[in-house]
Every structure is written in C-alpha cells, then in structure tokens.
Amino acid sequence: MQIKYLEKPFLTNIEKIAIGNWTKQLLWSPDGEKLLWNSLKCSNLYFIQPKESKEMNIHVNGREISWLDDSENIAYVERTSKTRFIHRFSLNIYNAIDDTNMKIFETDEILRNLRVTQKGHIWINELDGTNEYLFNRKGKRLREYYNEKVLVFDHDLNLVRMNIDGSNREMIQSRGWRGELSGDERYIIYNFNGYLHKYTISTNGKNRLVWGNNGIWSPDDNYIIYEVTNEDGHSIHGSDLYIINSDGFNVKQLTFTAEIQEGNPSISPDGKKIAFTCYKTNAVYIADIEF
C-alpha cells in the first residue's frame, strides 16, 4: 500500500473519560470496545467501556498487563509481600465480564515481559532470563514451544528479540526501551537517548527518526504517533502528540493544548480513535483521529 503523505492530520471530539491515577499504560481491547490501564502509584487496574462511560477499578496489584485475544480476559503480574524485603510474583487472569480472578502461577523470582502470542497464549519470563513460561488462556502450562518470536527487555535493560523458548537472541538496542513491533513484523520502533528509532529486522538496520518517545504504530503501519515532552528531569512543563510517516518523513503536530500535557498514546484497532493521558492531571482522554 502506498503511503499517503499527510497534509492536515487532526484530532476531533476530544473527551475526558476518566480521572486517572498516575496512569502507566493504556491498552485497547482487541475488539476496540474497552480501554485498560494500570496505575504507577497504586498498581490497581482500571478499564472503561467508552461507549457506555462505565469505569471499573480492579483492586489487584497489577504491574504488567495485557488483553487476551477474546477481549474479555486480562493477564497481569501481581506482586505480594512475604516480608518487607521479600516478595512473590504471580501471573493471573482476570475476567472483565464475570469479575473473577484466577492465579495461574507463582514464584519468588521477578516476572517481566508479559506477552500474548499470535496464538493467544500467555508468555512471560523471569528477570534474569533463565526461565520462560507459556500458558493457554485457561491457565494450563504448555511444555511444547513453537516457532514465534517475542520482543523483550533482558536483565541488563537491553531490547532483545528472541524465540519464545529463549533461543536465538537478537540484540536490537543496548539500553533501548518501549519497543513496538509493526503489524507486518518487519520493523521495530523504540526509544533511545531521547529519540525515536526504527529497526529493520531483515537487514538489522537502525535509523534515528525524530526527537520524541513512546511511539506507536497505526494499524496499517503507515504512520507512527509519538509524544514530545518538555521536562527538566524533575517535572514536565509541556507535552504534545505528533505524527510521522513510517518512512521517517513529514512530521506533523497533532495537539496544541497548553492545558493538557498529552502522553502515552494508544490507537484503537480500527484506527479511528486514539486514547492518551494528561501528565498534569492524570486524566484519560479519547478522541477521533482523522488522517
């Protein structure tokens, strides 16, 4: 598909849908009907159905989060304390329809890199990278791995792509973070030293795109939306959303609001809506996006 170069991208019908609480991550459900986020301050999970303006607070210590492919179940990692300095970590599945919770795995090791595979299975590994775990959506552990790759952060905070059995590790970027794989699995965008970078998987080529962070792909992979934040290392003084063609050209500013410090963008699966947070008030917004 030929990329259409944007002349005037803009957001319309901007609406505040919730008052967040140090929102860490925004995730649309695969059916585009629900929006999930977790709190950096208290680690509770929240989800809202924008069409019904219905918000639910899931009172669990949810750290890493991910929707399963049925748009009903949420996988998350929970940390519980045995003593002041000793913690246990568990992998859980919460059903957003029945309001039920199931613990499927628990360990003393730190769990990270929660992923849902293309087959709808739940994958996670330990911080030191010594063990990988694979479960089906019912919580049963799968012992046989198949040929699929995941994008993870290793214990040295390097961005790495590897097989789900832990083999064939491919270094993408030392100290790179917030990696996002394109829908066609040909490219990866990530943050490094304040810039948004693009990695071409077939050639191992790296390209610095633009000053900014927290980039996300549009559903058709033609565009990248990201944030540009003005901060001094202690506080944020301003933040806006921008859009760039996936080839690295034609930067356009999407938001111009001084009263809203936009960040953490998330595009709905159909590409018609965008969700984002405000760093100043912690509110969660959605808007229609038109290319």
Could you tell me the residue range of the domain that residue 278 belongs to?
Answer: 8-20+186-291
pLDDT classification of 236: cutoffs 50, 70, 90: low
Whether residue 109 sits in one domain with residue 213: no
**Dist. CA 122–CA 137, nearest whole Å:** 7
Whether residue 155 sits in one domain with residue 194: no
Instruction: Please give the helix or strand (H or E) that residue 193 lies within, else none.
Output: none
Whether residue 230 sits in one domain with residue 283: yes
Model confidence at 1: pLDDT above 70: no
| Per-position DSSP letters for 108-120, written without gaps between them | SSPEEEEEE-TTS
Q: Where do the DSSP E strands lie in 108-194?
A: 111-116, 122-126, 132-135, 149-153, 159-163, 170-173, 177-181, 187-192
Model confidence at 234: pLDDT above 70: no
Q: Is residue 106 part of a domain?
A: yes
Q: Is residue 29 part of a domain?
A: no
**Dist. CA 6–CA 290, nearest whole Å:** 10
Whether residue 138 sits in one domain with residue 100: yes
Model confidence at 255: pLDDT above 60: yes
Q: Which two tokens stand for residue 196?
A: 């948004």
Q: CATH number of the domain that 255 lies in? A: 2.120.10.60
Whether residue 202 sits in one domain with residue 112: no
| pTM greater than the 0.85 cutoff | yes
User: What pLDDT, on the 0 to 100 scale, is given for residue 59?
Assistant: 65
**Dist. CA 39–CA 45, nearest whole Å:** 7
Whether residue 259 sits in one domain with residue 230: yes
Contact of 57 with 37, CB cutoff 8 Å: no
Residue indicated by tokens 């170069």:
5
pLDDT digits 0-9 by tens, 173-206: 887 778 899 999 899 999 998 899 999 999 989 9
Residue range 243-248: mean pLDDT, rounded: 90
User: What pLDDT, on the 0 to 100 scale, is given for residue 233?
Assistant: 62
Q: Is residue 242 part of a domain?
A: yes
Whether residue 191 sits in one domain with residue 151: no
Q: CATH number of the domain that 120 lies in? A: 2.120.10.30
Model confidence at 40: pLDDT above 70: no
Indicate the number of domains in the chain.
2
> What rounded mean pLDDT belongs to the chain?
85
